[in-house]
Amino acid sequence: MPRVKTLRTKKPPEGFAEIEDTLLDFANRLKDIETASHEGKRKNESLWPVFQITHQRSRYIYDLYYTREAISSELYQWLLKQGYADGNLIAKWKKQGYEKLCCLKCIQAKENTFNATCICRVPKSKLDKDKVVECVTCGCRGCASSD
């Protein structure tokens, strides 16, 4: 969640105005999800859209900086510091084998049963073809890099 802007907050670096509309769109989508009804859903299921939108926002910033090289290093660092993107998740995306990682909870062994990684990290070729795989923590349907 981005920091609250105050009088003492530093002004954003040059280039922020170009991506501000997209970031505001992500923020509005998050607000809509928070106000939506959660009746009939499990506790984890109601959080899945929040995980998905924060993942998309982090991926958007990652792509702007590393893939398209459309933003400066100064703006990228400012966005991370202000909380627009998850720096730890982006650090994992830069490592081999974690390019499609959905969230950090899926690779933390203590967060899952049997002290193993999440089922969404298992390549689809190693699972039954007719079995639908869905992560319990974030709703991901497969984020193994080999898929």
Predicted pLDDT of residue 33: 92
Enter the pTM of the model: 0.88
Between CA 13 and CA 17 the distance in angstroms is: 9
pLDDT grade for 57, boundaries at 50, 70 and 90? very high
> Given a cut of 80, is residue 80 above it in pLDDT?
yes
- The pLDDT assigned to 122 comes to 86
Q: How confident is the model at residue 113 (pLDDT cuts 50, 70, 90)?
A: confident
Average pLDDT over residues 66-91: 96
For residues 45 and 139, the answer to whether their CB atoms sit within 8 Å is yes
Can you spell out the DSSP letters for 31-94? HHHHHS--TTS-HHHHHHHHHHHHHHHHHHHHIIIIIS--S-HHHHHHHHHHTSS-HHHHHHHT
Q: Higher-confidence residue: 88 or 122? A: 88
Q: Quick one: DSSP state of residue 113?
A: G
Mean local confidence (pLDDT), 98-124: 85
Residue 63 has pLDDT above 90, yes or no: yes
